[in-house]
């Protein structure tokens, strides 16, 4: 007699900043309005729409696209599907006006999230899944791994909603492992919130799985375990904590721990009343009715169940709690020997249940079809074709298997050779790094021993210098060269080269010389141009980090490129392959 928490997914709303652009709103004001809209989604929809209207007044296309998308979801929460669709169409129009960039791709992914939530609210799980899948593709283009995790969490919840509990649990556990391994990618509050949501979702999936397999009591224990973990991570997130406590109350009810269940339900009811959250208040009342029915306190149960009916009829939300409320009321009136009322509520339950289950079955088929787990029509066609051309396919399959085996053997041998080659290359690089460290120490010691008197230019050499300049050959006093090299090595030690602005002019300004001298010294001492010298330092830093830091090896190519000042992942990967002979991912995997 579990209540599926219909408003749970509201907690999945998120917003993130995009690159600062010009317009009527400052970047800070834009982000502030985003936060206000996000919090309004938890109940105060009209207030949220007022913030949306403020953002729409901006002349910035990014601001407007985001505002219309958020407004679309808010109108859906108010039950106005027509206006919701109009707002989303406007969001797409403004998105189309934005020049192609990573920021546009990221914004498009946010729009997919709002659209997915809108379809979810309409119980159209198939279309919601399509929106989330598109969001994953967009986020993958820009290596936005944090965003991908959020979309996968939504996909897991869709599967939980249609009864694919094992798949939901698998996805959520993958997300939990990713969070632990990449905590450094998140701000503290963001990490805590993500962990809290993940554990609540895992609890829901285990609870739902238990209802399909009631003989497996350990599933209920797992649900309780994850709800408690979610509460532990939710001190700063009241909505997360409320949902987890409500779900924990359901577990206590199933285990017949009525005292703890009652306390939690009353706490939730009181909080919902204080915050004017009617969805939450409706669910808390249903749970109290269910509790007192289980305790055989029928009159008290009816008080709360009638409140559920009243709220549902007022808001025209004939959801899961409404038809389950009528189910319990029908049973109570049957026990109380009041046939007319028993018949009335049983009819309301059956009508609602038939509609709900019919829609759920259709959505389950569509979700499974899009995930490739229930493509029955194609399977039947393939069976027909198989028997129609059985002789032909038998021969073709034999040839295919022979080719496949040969191909597998070839690729296995090639893979082993490539791995050995990469391993030898890496071992050589490790030895090279050791040698470079010793060489730098010696070079630094030699520079420090250079005679101070060589810091001045010999007057007798001025004519020779002038002559060389005429011949277009620049020459610098050795002491001055040593000083430039010494300062350049000092910049290396400070890791200045990781700065994206580490150019010839930047370095020359830092060591107080001119670009001509610096370029000459780098070319003479290191045998390469300044840009080649700079790129080599960056690549060497990455190699060293990959060799010594196991966490660094888990970063995406884009993230590593940005960490060492490359403008994009493509140029970084090209430089890395030139230096090592393999891609960054291959290098990390081989280590």
Residue in 551, 552, 571, 553 with CA at minimum distance from that of residue 561: 571
Query: Which domain CATH number covers 58?
Result: 1.25.40.10
Query: Which domain CATH number covers 543?
Result: 1.10.10.60
Q: Into how many domains does the chain fold?
A: 2
Q: Is residue 541 part of a domain?
A: yes
CA–CA distance, 477 with 472 (Å, rounded to integer)? 16
Q: Is residue 386 part of a domain?
A: no
Q: Is residue 271 part of a domain?
A: no
Q: Is residue 137 part of a domain?
A: yes
Q: Is residue 489 part of a domain?
A: yes
CA–CA distance, 151 with 335 (Å, rounded to integer)? 47
Domain range for 445: 433-590
CA–CA distance, 289 with 285 (Å, rounded to integer)? 6
Question: What does the block give as tokens for 63?
Answer: 């601001």
Residue in 124, 215, 213 with CA at minimum distance from that of residue 162: 124
Q: Are 125 and 363 in contact (CB under 8 A)?
A: yes
Taking residue 64's Cβ as centre, other Cβ atoms within 10 Å add up to 22
CA–CA distance, 524 with 544 (Å, rounded to integer)? 26
Q: Are 342 and 333 in contact (CB under 8 A)?
A: yes
Q: What angle do CA 201, 207, 209 make, to 5 degrees?
A: 105
**Of 162, 194, 222, at which residue does a domain stop?**
162
pLDDT of residue 422: 66
Question: What does the block give as tokens for 253?
Answer: 């009810």
pLDDT of residue 362: 54
Q: What angle do CA 521, 526, 532 make, to 5 degrees?
A: 100
Q: Is residue 247 part of a domain?
A: no
Q: Is residue 493 part of a domain?
A: yes
Query: First and final CA of the chain: distance in angstroms?
Result: 52
Q: Is residue 176 part of a domain?
A: no
Tell me whether residue 293 is exposed, middle or buried, using C-beta atoms within 10 angstroms of its C-beta: 0 to 12, 13 to 18, 19 or more: buried
Return phi, psi of residue 21, to 5°: -135, 170
CA–CA distance, 8 with 240 (Å, rounded to integer)? 9
**Of 147, 162, 177, at which residue does a domain stop?**
162
Question: 554: which residues sit within 8 A by CB, 6+ positions away?
Answer: 181, 182, 588
One digit per residue, pLDDT tens: the chain, 591 residues?
Answer: 444 444 344 344 334 333 334 446 788 888 888 888 877 776 678 888 999 999 998 889 999 999 999 999 999 988 899 999 999 999 999 999 999 999 999 999 999 999 999 998 888 888 888 998 899 899 889 888 888 888 888 888 888 877 888 888 998 998 888 888 888 888 888 888 888 889 988 998 898 888 888 888 888 899 999 999 998 888 877 878 888 898 999 999 988 999 999 999 999 898 888 888 888 888 889 999 999 999 999 999 999 988 888 888 887 766 677 778 888 888 888 888 888 887 887 777 777 665 555 555 555 555 555 565 443 333 333 433 443 444 455 667 778 877 888 888 887 887 777 667 766 766 676 676 666 666 666 666 665 554 433 333 333 233 333 323 433 456 677 888 888 888 888 888 888 888 888 888 988 888 888 888 888 888 888 888 988 888 888 888 888 888 887 778 788 888 888 888 888 888 888 888 888 888 888 888 876
Residue in 166, 168, 178 with CA at minimum distance from that of residue 200: 168
**Of 99, 129, 162, at which residue does a domain stop?**
162
């Amino acid at each position: 007699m579990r209540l599926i928490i219909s408003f749970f997914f509201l907690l999945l709303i998120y917003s993130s900043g995009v690159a600062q652009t010009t317009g009527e709103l400052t970047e800070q004001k834009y982000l502030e309005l985003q936060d206000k809209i996000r919090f309004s989604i938890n109940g105060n929809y009209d207030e949220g729409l007022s913030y949306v209207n403020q953002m729409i007044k901006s002349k910035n296309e990014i601001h407007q696209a985001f505002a219309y998308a958020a407004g679309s979801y808010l109108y859906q929460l108010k039950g106005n599907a027509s206006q919701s669709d109009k707002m989303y169409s406007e969001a797409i129009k403004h998105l189309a006006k934005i020049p192609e960039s990573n920021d546009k791709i990221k914004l498009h992914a946010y729009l997919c999230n709002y659209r997915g939530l809108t379809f979810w609210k309409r119980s159209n799980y198939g279309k919601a899944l399509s929106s989330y899948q598109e969001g994953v593709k967009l986020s993958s283009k820009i290596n936005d791994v944090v965003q991908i995790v959020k979309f996968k969490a939504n996909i897991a919840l869709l599967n939980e909603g249609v009864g694919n509990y094992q798949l939901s649990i698998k996805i959520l556990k993958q997300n939990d492992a990713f969070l632990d391994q990449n905590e450094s990618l998140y701000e503290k509050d963001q990490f805590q919130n993500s962990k809290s949501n993940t554990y609540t979702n895992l609890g829901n999936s285990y609870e739902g799985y238990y209802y399909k397999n009631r003989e497996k009591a350990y599933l209920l224990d797992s649900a309780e375990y994850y709800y408690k973990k979610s509460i532990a991570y939710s001190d700063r997130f009241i909505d997360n904590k409320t949902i987890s406590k409500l779900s924990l109350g359901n577990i206590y009810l199933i285990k017949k721990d009525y005292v703890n269940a009652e306390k939690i339900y009353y706490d939730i009811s009181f909080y919902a009343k204080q915050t004017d959250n009617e969805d939450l208040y409706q669910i808390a009342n249903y749970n109290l009715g269910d509790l007192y029915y289980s305790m055989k306190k029928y009159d008290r149960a009816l008080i709360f169940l009638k409140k559920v009916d009243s709220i549902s009829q007022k808001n025209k939300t004939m959801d899961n709690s409404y038809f389950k409320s009528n189910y319990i009321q029908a049973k109570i009136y049957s026990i109380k020997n009041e046939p007319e009322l028993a018949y009335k509520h049983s009819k309301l339950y059956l009508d609602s249940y038939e509609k709900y289950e019919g829609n759920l079955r259709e959505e389950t088929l569509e979700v499974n079809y899009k995930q490739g787990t229930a493509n029955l029509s194609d399977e039947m066609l393939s069976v027909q074709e198989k028997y129609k051309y059985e002789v032909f396919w038998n021969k073709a399959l034999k040839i295919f298997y022979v080719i496949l085996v040969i191909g597998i053997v070839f690729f296995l041998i090639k893979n082993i050779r490539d791995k050995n080659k990469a391993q030898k290359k890496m071992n050589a690089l490790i030895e090279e790094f050791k040698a470079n460290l010793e060489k730098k120490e010696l070079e630094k010691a030699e520079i420090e021993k250079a005679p101070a008197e060589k810091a001045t230019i010999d007057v007798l050499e001025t004519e020779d210098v002038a002559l060389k300049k005429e011949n277009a050959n620049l020459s610098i006093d050795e002491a001055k060269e040593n000083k430039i090299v010494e300062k350049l090595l000092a910049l290396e030690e400070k890791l200045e080269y990781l700065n994206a602005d580490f150019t010839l002019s930047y370095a020359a300004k830092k060591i107080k010389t001119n670009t001509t001298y610096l370029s000459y010294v780098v070319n003479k001492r290191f045998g390469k141009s300044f840009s080649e010298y700079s790129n080599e330092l960056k690549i060497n830093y990455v190699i060293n980090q990959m060799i010594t830091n196991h966490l660094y090896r888990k970063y995406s190519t884009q993230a590593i490129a940005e960490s060492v000042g490359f403008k994009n992942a493509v140029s970084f990967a090209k430089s890395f392959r030139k230096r090592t002979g393999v891609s960054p991912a291959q290098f990390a995997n081989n280590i």
